[in-house]
Chains A and B, each alone.
Chain A
């Protein structure tokens, strides 16, 4: 037999190194180039770069930087919108027809002119592809059958859109500012459109370029997408044909870094310029360190734990309420999310119209047990929980697992990457899910609609809100949400949203936990980096480096 010294030595080496090495996980790198912004960012939730398909936070941020919309939020006063590609717009007297006039002389990054026709096609493909963001337009009554009639290019610079009900114009315009409704370069994409057979699931004979746009770019924003390598990096390059203020830097690289500690080390070493996923401990350390800065912005993002109503135990109202009493809000707020969020138990983020700022739930095991007994589950039950393996959700999930076990509820955590857990969640195959919801547009309807509207609870529904994903069938709340949308009186509208929030607090399968404060650690030489209220307003164009 051969002498076996090797395993012994390697065991020694690996044993000691395991804890140290794997923590860092960052190869030594030179300082970042002066014309490039390198951001350390967990980008594993990106599943597509097609604006009509992608609806994830990280992809939303990238798309916000590489595509442009008709209008966008006025960042100095987020209750208003300003024209982006549209120079002006008018609403007909009956409140149904919107006419947008495009700015003259606009071009895509490819050099093709931006015309109303491109927009009409972008609207059409978004509706007909029927991916997650399609509901943005569906809610105006646009469907695959009528979109070509309702959205039309009158001439190369005039676009009209007819909606089915007289919505509050601010609502319609706020939606138009959302990143999925972007101008897509029709001329560039057309050669890449693939024919697909028409069958029960495909109503149309082509994919509208979706297959190609998943990883390619046909936009007009201040940056161009150079490449996206899944779980590795997103590389943006300046679009020199951009019509507005040109980006100050030539390149922006989003480097996939999952770990907060890794981001902090890389930031301290100068390997990255911006660290985007700092956890409380590391954030405090970065803030203390000379030459590094911290910036933060309250986000329209709320974190929640939701309970799938397809699970017979979770469907019991007493169980839903009991679970809300089994979350240790105070401890989580003081430790796991310190600095990156604030306990917030209603679904509208602070700062939106009608947001209710009350936190009635506290950890109360005795009360939870009482409620479980009422539901006939004195001995508790077992249930699974899908958790994306990033912080703080993993930590919160584990804390919840512990406190729930005190009432006899055995939660087994199923960790997965963002794509895995999201896909499962969207298919309604989960029991308990912990996730976040970022407002798609700066209007209370965005959150109200997803948390309280579920017009069709069938598995094959097209309107897939969070309420749908958790199979929460609530016709009356759905109607109320709809009514709020048509209410033009601001105060009355706010009152309806407050009622909805109370209903979600009392009886929904959603345990809202906290509202996110987004933070970023910056190198001292990074100027102009500002986080916006939504993810698609985290613009990198104004950023410069000394």
Chain B
């Protein structure tokens, strides 16, 4: 009777219990510890706040934006400076409110980032773990394909792809996705190589698990945390590539308020009307910064080695 632990006094204590009663409790406990470690990093929290604001702005763009992002007042409000009445961040060459365009542009940015992450991470993970676990010629073939993609600079390959597919935001996503998965595959393969000869894998195989099961249930989870970190850190790069494509006229097409395209159209006025290009530049800077801070924080909190486990 005395061995039965007392009922947890608080959720916190329940989560931090070093003798979890169930798998769920163990997992939640792990997650909570990670969160505590993440939250102890103030910069990471700043990054998280930036991303939360981005998501909220994107979700409520219609309510938040004071003007239409595409229709402007060419005759009455062309190239007004920031803080003009009614136009907090000024207007562009078509008389459109820059703030409203930034707010609506956040949707495009989020869409691109999420789509790319959703496409590339699973592909990279699958290719990497299969190659690492199977070894032999499968590994050779898959890794050589990866090498081919890695042999080109990302942006150049993306440019070539978009030029072939035609400009547009969907094609930009495809191009970025095609060029972004190889590093994940490399990383997943390295992680897989490290665990494939572990005792627990041998044990699962002895119990008759098929290679598919081993890879899916016992190898992939080991790669996940580093993958998440890597993807988060890469998001800033994805935003920059998307902006770069938009800047070169190969991403979003006018009049959609994609930030890179906004910089591109604003650069004509950079000498006299600096705000037209600067405002979207700041937006890109802040959001990239947010993703990087969160990525840094995640790495510190998720990486098992750094956590001393």
Question: Could you tell me which A residues sit within 8 Å of B by CB distance?
Answer: 1, 4, 7-8, 10-12, 14-16, 18-20, 22-23, 259-261, 264-265, 279, 281-282, 285, 328, 330-332, 334-336, 389, 391, 394-395, 397-399, 401-402, 405-406, 412-415
Interface size class of B (residues with CB under 8 A): 35 or more
Q: Which residue of B lies closest to A261 (CB)?
A: B268
Query: Do B285 and A12 touch across chains, with their CB atoms under 8 A apart?
Result: yes
Q: Which residue of B lies closest to A13 (CB)?
A: B285
A402-B72, A405-B71, A412-B253 known; A22 and B271 CB under 8 Å?
no
Q: Does B124 contact A (CB under 8 A)?
A: no
Query: Do B267 and A7 touch across chains, with their CB atoms under 8 A apart?
Result: no
Chain A residue numbers with a CB within 8 Å of B187 are 1
Query: Do B70 and A399 touch across chains, with their CB atoms under 8 A apart?
Result: no
Q: Which residue of A lies closest to B73 (CB)?
A: A331
Measured CA separation A394–B254 after assembly (Å) = 9
CB distance from A418 to the nearest CB of B (A): 13
Query: Do A11 and B281 touch across chains, with their CB atoms under 8 A apart?
Result: no
| Chain A proximity mask over B71-108: 1 for CB below 8 Å, otherwise 0 | 11011001100000000000001100000000000000
CB distance from B290 to the nearest CB of A (A): 10
Among the interface residues A4, A401, A405, which one has the most CB atoms of the partner chain B within 10 A? A4
Among the interface residues B79, B249, B268, B269, which one has the most CB atoms of the partner chain A within 10 A? B268
Partner of A19, one of B71, B78, B278: B278
CB distance from A19 to the nearest CB of B (A): 4
Among the interface residues A16, A22, A260, A415, which one has the most CB atoms of the partner chain B within 10 A? A22
Query: Do B236 and A11 touch across chains, with their CB atoms under 8 A apart?
Result: yes
CB distance from A219 to the nearest CB of B (A): 35
Partner of A4, one of B72, B233, B271: B233
Partner of A1, one of B72, B230, B278, B292: B230
- Give B263-287 interface residues, CB cut-off 8 Å to A: 263-273, 277-278, 280-281, 284-285
Query: Do A398 and B237 touch across chains, with their CB atoms under 8 A apart?
Result: no
- Give B36-89 interface residues, CB cut-off 8 Å to A: 70-72, 74-75, 78-79
Partner of A16, one of B70, B75, B229, B281: B281
Q: Does B226 contact A (CB under 8 A)?
A: yes
Query: Do B270 and A15 touch across chains, with their CB atoms under 8 A apart?
Result: no
Measured CA separation A242–B78 after assembly (Å) = 50
List 7 other contacts, CB 8 Å, given A332-B74, A414-B167. A7-B237, A8-B296, A11-B289, A22-B264, A23-B277, A261-B268, A413-B253
Q: Which residue of B lies closest to A281 (CB)?
A: B272
Q: Does B242 contact A (CB under 8 A)?
A: no
Measured CA separation A23–B264 after assembly (Å) = 8
Q: Does B299 contact A (CB under 8 A)?
A: yes
Q: Which residue of A lies closest to B78 (CB)?
A: A335
Query: Do B240 and A415 touch across chains, with their CB atoms under 8 A apart?
Result: no
Partner of B229, one of A1, A335, A405: A1
Partner of B267, one of A261, A406, A414: A261
Chain B residue numbers with a CB within 8 Å of A402 are 70-72, 74, 94, 255
Query: Do B93 and A259 touch across chains, with their CB atoms under 8 A apart?
Result: no
Measured CA separation A328–B71 after assembly (Å) = 13
Measured CA separation A265–B236 after assembly (Å) = 31
CB distance from A135 to the nearest CB of B (A): 32
Chain B residue numbers with a CB within 8 Å of A330 are 75
